[in-house]
Structure 1
Amino acid sequence: MNHPSDVTGSVPQISGLQAPGYYRLTAGDATITAISDGALKMPLDKLLTNISPEKVAQRMALAAMTPETDVSVNAFVVDTGEQRILIDTGAGQLPGYTGGHLQDNLRAAGYPPESIDLVLLTHIHSDHFGGLTLNGTPVFPNAQVKVSQEDARYWLDRDNFDDIPESRHRSFHNAQQVMERVRAAGQLQTFDLPAQVHPLIRALPAPGHTPGSVVYLLESGADKVLFWGDIIHAEPVQMQEPHVAIQFDIDQNQAIRTRETVLAETAREGYLVGAAHIAFPGIGRVVRSGEGYRWIAVS
């Protein structure tokens, strides 16, 4: 789709400078910009499973952090020069969340919402899709919004409501509220996995956290970048101990298998990673470290 700026002939110039709310780098012929939506306060010693609260505290202390910590919420723009693709949207103004900085930081980075051509969701959880609407109106009016068919089937079918635990009712309600507005605007598209969702980007299955969670693999020139949603919530803990799950996982055993598979492949292939919940900008690499892994942030 055309950007409004294309009609006037004044395409916004993208600065190479960094700023607190965004971080930019190149991968092949594409420009990648990490965008901060803010952070979520999480009591990780209460939310993580398969590990004692004491061990969580020890792992977090090694990273100079406490178990009650702010977990970053990151989104990513892939700018191919022809299209602007946004991966995840933060939580927007959904109740119970204090972030919602995505729109301002997109604009600061040179990407007003109307300039986004395609939105790719890693999964349907509030802190990943909530920024799609504001006061019931789609935020990215010129964009297609793509999500896996499996996740859409789970979250957007009202018949599922009575079968899900009460702890997920708010997430289910948020999904219905936001995603139905996007669908009504004719923007929502679903795909079966695996899928080529863009000429440069493949969607690959990463189930467990939600039934249809995905990772996105960008291949541009000689570079490969893997974007993931909730593979990791607690980097100081789960990198070293991938068997540690979180209560938000719908299928914890599958989420653990997925995390182990994704981390092993990422380290083996040397992918650059864009991670939704690792400290902003959430860009780095995964390397083997003993029986687990270690995160090396981009510098």
Structure 2
Amino acid sequence: MNHQSVSVWARKTALLGIAAIALSGSLTAAAAAPAQLKTQVPGYYRHALGEMEVTALYDGYVDLGSNLLKGIRADQIQSLLARMFLKDIKGIQTAVNAYLVHTGGRLVLVDAGSASCFGPTLGQVQDNIRAAGYALEDVDTVLLTHLHPDHMCGLLNKDGKPAFPNATVFAAQEDMDFWLSEATAATAPEDKRPFFKMAREAAAPYLAAGKFRSFKAGEQLFAGVSVVPTQGHTPGHMSYLFSSKARQLLVWGDIVHNHAVQFSRPEVSLEFDSNQKQAIATRKALFVTATKNGWEIAGAHLPFPGIGHIRKDAKGYAWVPLEFGPIRTDR
């Protein structure tokens, strides 16, 4: 080997050594990757409704057992869940949502979430209002679809005081007469009595301040906001229709708890429905009206953000969620 060949060989060897060191360093760097964060993005999503702005708020989730669905065989439930790639292991993951609507003149919260009334997977509405850029003090109106704890415990903060000190709370008189009555609670089954207690505690400071009011079915509460009676899940369950520039959004509370089953099979009820026959009739009628009118829907237990449309199929109906995108007022 001549002198020139030795020189070339030496340079190649040196370069290979540098490459090996670099590769070794990159492998070491890869092995030292940061830990996975294990956290999700803040739970809010904005949506334009004419001149109104709707902010969906995620309170969290609860795993509902498929055995709570009534009027359908277990194998039929599992078949419908499989079509939607849902797994029923410890129950079916079910969202709990609330909705903040800026009408232009009011900041309206529809349902308040569960706060600390249930387990650690719920209670995020207040934090997500702040994450969305609002203060709890900005809310001037709270509309409750009904008085179940996962919809009204969030009226209180961690200290048991009003979370929305500047707000007036509205609910149907029928639900107030039922859930806030100690006499009715005393006659309820033992396992249901805590629901009455949680409802009374959440309402108490607002009632004391004269800021908890009732309304009648079909009443127009404010400009662009009217009440749609949807009883069945509870005696006074109500939904709210927001209208702006020919656009309409119905925030419907607990009309559907399982989107995989109850859209295709609206005759399936839930064990928690106080009047299952009425709840079924309400759901069927509402599906017809919503599809006929082209209403947008916001549901408390639909997959977050829970906003979309209902489509009529050859058999039953289907849920069509909105597409993620910017806030657009041109469509």
TM-score with structure 2 length normalisation? 0.82
Instruction: Give me the CA root mean square deviation.
Output: 1.2
| Matches for 1:185-204 after TM superposition, within 5 Å | 185-204=209-228
Which is strand-richer, 1 or 2? 1
* Counterpart pick for 1:269 among 293, 305, 309: 293
Asked if 1:133 corresponds to 2:156, the answer is yes
Asked if 1:154 corresponds to 2:178, the answer is yes
Amino acid of the residue matched to residue 88 of structure 1? D
Asked if 1:21 corresponds to 2:43, the answer is yes
Asked if 1:111 corresponds to 2:134, the answer is yes
Q: CA deviation at 1:227?
A: 0.5
* Counterpart pick for 1:239 among 263, 275, 279: 263
Name the CA distance, whole Å, in 1 between partners of 2:131 and 2:283: 33
Name the CA distance, whole Å, in 2 between partners of 1:185 and 1:52: 48
Asked if 1:224 corresponds to 2:241, the answer is no
Which is helix-richer, 1 or 2? 2
Amino acid of the residue matched to residue 204 of structure 1? V
Q: Percent identity?
A: 38
1:124-160 per-position Cα deviation (integer Å, ceiling 9, x unaligned): 0011001000232000000110000110011111111
- Indicate the larger mover: 175-184 or 234-243: 175-184
Name the CA distance, whole Å, in 1 between partners of 2:127 and 2:177: 32
Which residue is 1:166 aligned to? Answer: 190
Amino acid of the residue matched to residue 236 of structure 2? G
Q: CA deviation at 1:96?
A: 4.0
Asked if 1:34 corresponds to 2:46, the answer is no
1:226-277 per-position Cα deviation (integer Å, ceiling 9, x unaligned): 1111000000000000000000000000000000011111111110111100
Q: Given that residues 116 and 140 in structure 1 are in contact (C-alpha distance below 8 angstroms), is that contact kept between their aligned partners in structure 2?
A: yes
Q: CA deviation at 1:181?
A: 2.4
Q: CA deviation at 1:97?
A: 5.6
Name the CA distance, whole Å, in 2 between partners of 1:90 and 1:145: 14
Which residue is 2:92 aligned to? Answer: 69
Name the CA distance, whole Å, in 2 between partners of 1:55 and 1:166: 32
What's the secondary structure of 1:138's corresponding residue? coil
Amino acid of the residue matched to residue 289 of structure 1? D
* Displaced runs of 4 or more, over 6 A: none
Q: CA deviation at 1:221?
A: 1.1
What's the secondary structure of 1:217's corresponding residue? strand
Name the CA distance, whole Å, in 1 between partners of 2:118 and 2:295: 35
Q: CA deviation at 1:20?
A: 4.0
Name the CA distance, whole Å, in 2 between partners of 1:86 and 1:197: 14
What's the secondary structure of 1:38's corresponding residue? strand
Q: CA deviation at 1:279?
A: 0.3
Q: CA deviation at 1:219?
A: 0.9
Which residue is 1:84 aligned to? Answer: 107
Q: Mark the runs of 5 or more structure 1 residues left unpaired by the alignment.
A: 1-18
Which residue is 2:201 aligned to? Answer: 177
Name the CA distance, whole Å, in 1 between partners of 2:222 and 2:316: 33
Name the CA distance, whole Å, in 2 between partners of 1:203 and 1:163: 30
Which residue is 2:10 aligned to? Answer: none
Q: Given that residues 112 and 155 in structure 2 are in contact (C-alpha distance below 8 angstroms), is that contact kept between their aligned partners in structure 1?
A: yes
Amino acid of the residue matched to residue 101 of structure 1? Q
* Counterpart pick for 1:213 among 232, 237, 247: 237
Which residue is 2:14 aligned to? Answer: none
